[in-house]
Amino acid sequence: AALGPRRNPSIPMPADIYPGRRNSEGVDLADPLVRVRLLNVLDEWADKECWTAEPTVVNGRSATLDVRSPYSGFLIGTARQSSAAEIDEMIARAAAFQGEWDGLGGNVRATLLEEVADLYEARTPEFLSLCQREAGKSLVDAVLEVREAVDFLRYYAAEARAQFTAEGLELPGPTGESNRLRLAGRGVFVAISPWNFPLAIFTGLVAGPLAAGNTVIAKPAEQTPLIAALAIGLFHEVISDGVVQLAPGDGKVGAMLTSDPRIAGVAFTGSTETARAINRAMAQRDGPLGILVAETGGQNAMIVDSSALPEQVTRDVLASAFQSAGQRCSALRVLYLQDDVADGMLEMIKGGFEALVIGSPEDLATDVGPVIDAEAKTKLDQHIAAMKRAGHKVWQRELPKACKEGHFVAPTIIEIGSIRDLANENFGPVLHVAQFKADQLKQVIADINACQFGLTLGLHSRIDATRKLVEAKARVGNFYVNRNQIGAVVGSQPFGGEGLSGTGPKAGGPHYLARFATERVTCIDTTAAGGNASLMAG
């Protein structure tokens, strides 16, 4: 025993670094014993082609579509579109179950969500395989995806346990008065999730309303229904299928759900245009007013001044712009380089850019995989071609021959004058670079703000006054200094934007669950208790 491992009690183990919840388990891909064993398991899953996604309620038959890999075109499984009759029945079931689910209280709901998190971790290899094959994610990104999903479940469980108590919050008042505020679920929520984080964001959008006492109907992105189906199947091992239901399908399914007056609210992550459509649909319906919690697009910039460290900038720019093939809400779209150092910085960035490995996400060496589908590829290719025609200087990698069959977009760097040259977000591996003079920093910030997107902003500078200036002036949800601007950690870096980038509150933050709840206040005059009792008896 004396020769056993010694632990410093002041340094928590990785699983215990967060108070009130267990940290998600990682996968050490640098350890060859771990890596080889995992790759062997993934090889076994790679042969499976019978994944299916169906509505939780089966009422008739509707169209069934093939689900194919974005990098190979291979068939992975099938998904069936939810019919109008199935949606109607799912909403009715969710409404019927909501009162009982809410009545369980925060502590019981928390325990159930933690059990779901444990099931997620137990099925990690299946999730990794589907994230690679259905969403085109690299293994590194897939591991991070599973961890974030697990963290959402456990974080919202901890918040439910703390905020949704039977006693509620005691409010101040004069002597002889007892006032308490309690949080309760609002009703039935619809969770509409994107394809770029088909497990993590999907899980967060489902777990948040559930933790707050609502029942949920989850509509995953039509490109990634199989991952969602596996996740909801695990929920159903712990929680009744009337409390959380799956409604796969395209935008028509989402429109039917969000326009129904029985829906208390919508949790959405996706494009600004779709969020506007949901908002209009909810405003036009009869019945109680619903709420929309939305995280939407971004035109994310990074500012680099002359004091920044070139090696650090290069590392963080490449990760921010090209990891996940640039398909992150927070990904870097516009890089501002101070003109004094711009040429040298850009040369180093281009050196790292040329070293990026483009290919199948099943290859551990791959840095940049495919975009999600043919439509996404066409939009990006058209943007790059338009910038070339307009005379912008463009650097673009050559795609390997192995990438010709999939939805690959060659990583691209485009020189522009400023962020004002861009009308829309270009959701893929395309980085725009602009230069600015030292005395133009305030104008750069004003141009970024004028876009009205406010999701993420990066800054590389060793001058504290510069950091304070940008922090004070920039209107963004997440501001990252001297690091990359992707990969917000649940509970530590709550994520979400403002303006055209969302409504708030931030996902993975302390104010999130309360947005899905209604507040109820009980006021009691304790000095009149006897009198009240006599009146009731009489």
> What are 490-507's pLDDT values in tens digits?
999 999 999 999 999 999
Our measurement of the distance from residue 424's CA atom to the centroid of its chain's CA atoms, rounded to an integer in Å, reads 20
Q: Is there a contact between 283 and 208 (Cβ–Cβ < 8 Å)?
A: no
Our measurement of the distance from residue 304's CA atom to the centroid of its chain's CA atoms, rounded to an integer in Å, reads 27
- SS3 string of 172-195? CCCCCEEEEEEEEECCEEEEECCC
Please tell me the distance from the alpha carbon of residue 170 to that of residue 426, in angstroms, as a whole number: 49
Strand positions, DSSP E, 275-425: 291-295, 301-304, 334-338, 394-396, 412-415
In whole numbers, what is the pLDDT of the chain averaged over residues? 95
Q: Is there a contact between 191 and 267 (Cβ–Cβ < 8 Å)?
A: yes
The helix, strand and coil proportions of the chain, stated in percent and rounded to the nearest 5, come to: 40, 20, 40
Peptide bond into 55 cis (omega under 30): no
- pLDDT tops 60 at residue 524: yes
- SS3 string of 413-438? EEECCCHHHCCCCCCCCEEEEEEECH
Our measurement of the distance from residue 189's CA atom to the centroid of its chain's CA atoms, rounded to an integer in Å, reads 17
Active site residues: 295, 329
Closest CA to 380 of 425, 433, 331: 425
DSSP conformational letter for 295? E
- For 156, residues 6+ apart whose C-beta sits below 8 A from its C-beta are 113, 204, 207, 208, 210, 211, 512, 513
Please tell me the distance from the alpha carbon of residue 489 to that of residue 509, in angstroms, as a whole number: 10
Strand partners, 244: 216
- pLDDT tops 80 at residue 116: yes
Sheet holding 177-185, edge to edge: 169-171, 177-185, 517-525
Please tell me the distance from the alpha carbon of residue 210 to that of residue 158, in angstroms, as a whole number: 13
- pLDDT tops 60 at residue 294: yes
Closest CA to 58 of 79, 82, 77: 82
**Strands 456-460, 478-481: pairing kind:** parallel
Please tell me the distance from the alpha carbon of residue 453 to that of residue 279, in angstroms, as a whole number: 18
Q: Is there a contact between 284 and 255 (Cβ–Cβ < 8 Å)?
A: no
**Strands 263-269, 291-295: pairing kind:** parallel
In a 13 Å sphere around the CA of 31, the CA atoms on its Cβ side amount to 7
Please tell me the distance from the alpha carbon of residue 324 to that of residue 339, in angstroms, as a whole number: 29
Q: What percent of the chain has pLDDT over 70?
A: 96
Confidence tier at 379 by pLDDT (50, 70, 90): very high
Tell me the whole-structure pTM to 2 decimals. Answer: 0.95
Please tell me the distance from the alpha carbon of residue 166 to that of residue 107, in angstroms, as a whole number: 9
CA-atom Rg of the chain in angstroms:
25
Please tell me the distance from the alpha carbon of residue 171 to that of residue 139, in angstroms, as a whole number: 49
pLDDT in tens, 434-486: 999 999 999 999 999 999 999 999 999 999 999 999 999 999 999 999 999 99
- pLDDT tops 50 at residue 531: no
Please tell me the distance from the alpha carbon of residue 296 to that of residue 284, in angstroms, as a whole number: 21
CA-CA-CA-CA dihedral for 57, 59, 65, 68, to nearest 10: 20
Cβ atoms within 10 A of the Cβ of 449, count? Answer: 17
Closest CA to 486 of 96, 291, 200: 200
Please tell me the distance from the alpha carbon of residue 477 to that of residue 480, in angstroms, as a whole number: 10
Phi, psi of 314 (to 5 degrees): -60, -45
Task: Give the pLDDT score at 537.
Answer: 33
**Average pLDDT, stretch 307-323?**
98
Strand partners, 218: 191, 246
Please tell me the distance from the alpha carbon of residue 473 to that of residue 450, in angstroms, as a whole number: 12
Strand positions, DSSP E, 312-429: 334-338, 394-396, 412-415
Please tell me the distance from the alpha carbon of residue 358 to that of residue 402, in angstroms, as a whole number: 9
Q: What percent of the chain has pLDDT over 90?
A: 91
**Average pLDDT, stretch 368-384?**
98
**Average pLDDT, stretch 110-133?**
97
Longest dimension (CA), the chain: 89
Confidence tier at 413 by pLDDT (50, 70, 90): very high
75-114: b (≥16 Cβ within 10 Å) or e: ebbbbbbbbeebbebbbebbbebbeebbeeebeebbebbb
Q: Is there a contact between 161 and 110 (Cβ–Cβ < 8 Å)?
A: yes
Confidence tier at 535 by pLDDT (50, 70, 90): very low
Please tell me the distance from the alpha carbon of residue 228 to that of residue 445, in angstroms, as a whole number: 39
- pLDDT tops 80 at residue 273: yes
CA-CA-CA-CA dihedral for 256, 259, 262, 264, to nearest 10: 120
Task: Give the pLDDT score at 62.
Answer: 81
> Which of 72-76, 144-148, 197-201, 264-268 comes out lowest in average pLDDT?
72-76
